[in-house]
Amino acid sequence: MLKENYTRFVWNSILENWDRTVFTNYGSGSYTYSEVGRTIYYMQKLFGKCGLKKGDKIALLGKNCAEWAIAYQAIVTYGAVVVPILPNFTPNDVQHIINHSESVSLFANKANWDVLDEENMPRLKSVVSLDDFAPLFTQNKQSAEHINKFKSLLSKPFGKEKLPKQIITNAELFAIIYTSGTTGFSKGVMLTHNNITGNMVYSRANMPLVPGDHILSFLPLAHAYGCTIEFLYPFTSGCHITFLGKMPTPQLLLKAFAEIKPRLILSVPLIIEKIFKKQIKPVLEQTKVKFLMKIPFMDSIILGKIKTKLTESFGGNFHEIVIGGAALNEEVQEVLRKAGFAFTIGYGMTECGPLISYAGWREARFNSAGRCVDQLQMRIDSPDPENIVGEILVRGENVMKGYYKNEKATHEIIGRDGWMHTGDLGTMDSDGFLYIKGRSKSMILGPSGQNIYPEEIEARINAFPLVQESIVVDRKEGLVALIYPDMEMVDAKKMKEHSLESIFEVYRKHLNREIPNYMQVVRFQVVSTEFEKTPKRSIKRFLYS
């Protein structure tokens, strides 16, 4: 158990940054740390008056916003357990999660609440709006009256002496995070205060932020990656967090980056790859540029301009971009590394809250996901971890308590010796750098018994100009690549279907010249709609197998 404590981090940050701005809803209002402290104080008073106790589960449903973040901090520092729910889950999924988690209260945007049926969630005692903190539903008149009075209390004078300073011990449950909404697949990951504290301690030592630094939060807050690194860690460091609150399209993100100039940026590969394809690759493919890149010193000048252009695109003030959630295309990696662009690739999962491995951009290695974080141990289940792929196993402070009300699934993933089976495959070099090869469930057995990792093939396919995304599947005829084209580029070039198919056939032949025979792709199949994805933007492979 760690000696540091998350709730102590929160109270210290509020006291030390009292007059600083902490939360801004992009394009609208802001809160200072003192205003957040006051809201937490009165919200916790409200919890008591509504009969909520330490250990009770309180769900959060809505878009990224300051009010969501305030409610989150009030819940966990009260000693209740937060149950964050993604707003794009179906109503049936949301109701299932609320019931399965035994949540007794809910904070929600009105639009999300309006499509739910309170009769299907009998345990709920109260529902509070994240739009204006008004009551949306209560089981009794008294609770409604208390909630209605709550907002008027926020204009009262509030001094540092009133700030709650209760410490919730590290052994207590912090959150239950559902990795899927549907009944058959949902698992509630139980994270303790110790798990979250482990992530905080590592982040403070390795991704340093200082009071007043700006952060743009655009990844889903109901997902561990965005919540921990874009919200909880910056909050405990005195930062100013702006919540985008809208679909993070590349166009909107570039506009927001230019305005906010964030100090630390999190991203998924898709965003980086889109910007690279649109802004950098067309330049590199010009005949003149290709020629100049072969001349000593001229290549450095061109790469320097690429670095400047990209740096300015992300606001020009960041010390690092941390990419996670999936593999980054090798061509993109290679160009960005040669240009000296400040990016790195990390690895994590909800079950570790999420950090598992990371290395700062100056020491990061090509295709690596960094080294194991200090709070964990890592090993590869392989007779030769450096050369033979095996499952990645971890244990330590960040590893979850288990799956809520699912002992069977817990014992399947965490052994008696404490090692957690991630389900991911990789190798590890002699310096401890991790190289992820793919998911054990997605591995394909080749015709002669070779292990084929479709992610490696997909990374090459996704580098082709007209490809938005791809997934490689095993069919009777062999390996088939399902391709969703870059429709924006297709439309701009006014391409016909037969022309697209001809170009993709050229791509396929080019791909097969670069990979071993047992990995050859027999056919490219164009699909008309984007692949269905998980909350962290990973393709749901099981739907296309």
Mean of the per-residue pLDDT values of the chain: 91
Provide mean pLDDT across the span 414-419.
Answer: 94
Provide mean pLDDT across the span 277-282.
Answer: 84
461-543 has the same fold as 250-439: no
Cα(356)–Cα(342) distance, rounded to whole angstroms?
20
The torsion angle over the Cα atoms of residues 468, 359, 305 and 314, rounded to 10 degrees, is 60
Which H helix or E strand runs over 151? helix 141-153
Please say if the pLDDT value at position 516 is more than 90. no
Please say if the pLDDT value at position 62 is more than 50. yes
pLDDT in tens, 383-415: 999 999 899 999 999 999 999 999 999 999 999
The more confident residue out of 60 and 441 is 60
Model confidence at 476, in pLDDT bands (50, 70, 90)? confident
Please say if the pLDDT value at position 446 is more than 70. no
The more confident residue out of 441 and 14 is 14
**Structure confidence at residue 447 (pLDDT):** 59
Residue 542 burial by CB count (10 A; 0-12/13-18/19+): exposed, middle or buried?
exposed
- CATH 3.40.50.12780 is the classification of domain 6-198: yes
Please say if the pLDDT value at position 171 is more than 90. yes
pLDDT in tens, 141-166: 899 999 999 989 988 999 999 999 99
**Structure confidence at residue 399 (pLDDT):** 97
Cα(287)–Cα(393) distance, rounded to whole angstroms?
47
Count of beta carbons in the 10 Å neighbourhood of residue 153: 15
Cα(180)–Cα(532) distance, rounded to whole angstroms?
13
**Structure confidence at residue 279 (pLDDT):** 83
Cα(183)–Cα(100) distance, rounded to whole angstroms?
9
pTM of the model: 0.83
The domains of the chain are located at 6-198, 250-439, 461-543
For 282, the 3-state DSSP assignment is helix
Provide mean pLDDT across the span 188-194.
Answer: 97
pLDDT in tens, 241-269: 999 999 888 889 999 999 999 999 998 88
Bridge partners (DSSP) listed for residue 524: 481
**Structure confidence at residue 535 (pLDDT):** 59
Task: Give the residue among 370, 378, 327, 334 at the shortest CA–CA distance from 352.
Answer: 378
Q: What is the DSSP string of 494-544?
A: T--HHHHHHHHHHHHHHHHHHS-GGG-EEEEEE-SSPPPB-TTS-B-GGGT
**Structure confidence at residue 544 (pLDDT):** 80
**Structure confidence at residue 449 (pLDDT):** 58
Bridge partners (DSSP) listed for residue 217: 243
Percent of the chain scoring above 90 in pLDDT: 68
Eight-state DSSP code of residue 168: P
* Amino acid occupying residue 66: A
Q: Phi/psi zone of residue 315: left (φ > 0), alpha (ψ -120 to 50 degrees), beta?
A: left
Please say if the pLDDT value at position 183 is more than 50. no
Maximum average pLDDT range among 188-202, 296-310, 433-447: 188-202
Q: Is the Cβ–Cβ distance between 179 and 186 less than 8 Å?
A: yes
Q: Is the Cβ–Cβ distance between 207 and 320 less than 8 Å?
A: yes
CATH number of 250-439: 3.40.50.12780
* Amino acid occupying residue 326: A
Please say if the pLDDT value at position 104 is more than 80. yes
Q: Is the Cβ–Cβ distance between 46 and 188 less than 8 Å?
A: no
Bridge partners (DSSP) listed for residue 126: 105, 138
Record the tokens describing residue 99, joined without a space.
């019931």
Q: Among 48-52, 182-186, 334-338, which is the least confidently predicted range? A: 182-186
pLDDT in tens, 115-126: 999 999 999 999
Query: Which pairs with CB-CB distance under 8 Å and at least 24 residues apart come from 441-450?
Result: 441/541, 442/541, 444/472, 444/474, 444/479, 446/518, 446/519, 447/518, 448/518, 450/516, 450/518
Count of beta carbons in the 10 Å neighbourhood of residue 27: 11
Provide mean pLDDT across the span 111-139.
Answer: 94
Record the tokens describing residue 308, joined without a space.
């400047």
Which H helix or E strand runs over 68? helix 66-78
Query: Which pairs with CB-CB distance under 8 Å and at least 24 residues apart come from 514-517?
Result: 514/460, 515/457, 515/460, 516/450
Residue 162: partners with Cβ closer than 8 Å, 6 or more residues away? 38, 41
**Structure confidence at residue 182 (pLDDT):** 43
Record the tokens describing residue 101, joined without a space.
């988690």
**Structure confidence at residue 536 (pLDDT):** 57
Cα(94)–Cα(59) distance, rounded to whole angstroms?
10
Residue 506 burial by CB count (10 A; 0-12/13-18/19+): exposed, middle or buried?
exposed
Record the tokens describing residue 437, joined without a space.
């090869």
**Structure confidence at residue 105 (pLDDT):** 97
Distance of CA 86 to the CA centre of its chain: 12
Q: What is the CATH T-level fold of the domain 461-543, as seen in this structure?
A: GMP Synthetase; Chain A, domain 3 (3.30.300)
Model confidence at 488, in pLDDT bands (50, 70, 90)? confident
Pairing state between β 451-452 and 81-85: unpaired
Cα(261)–Cα(239) distance, rounded to whole angstroms?
13
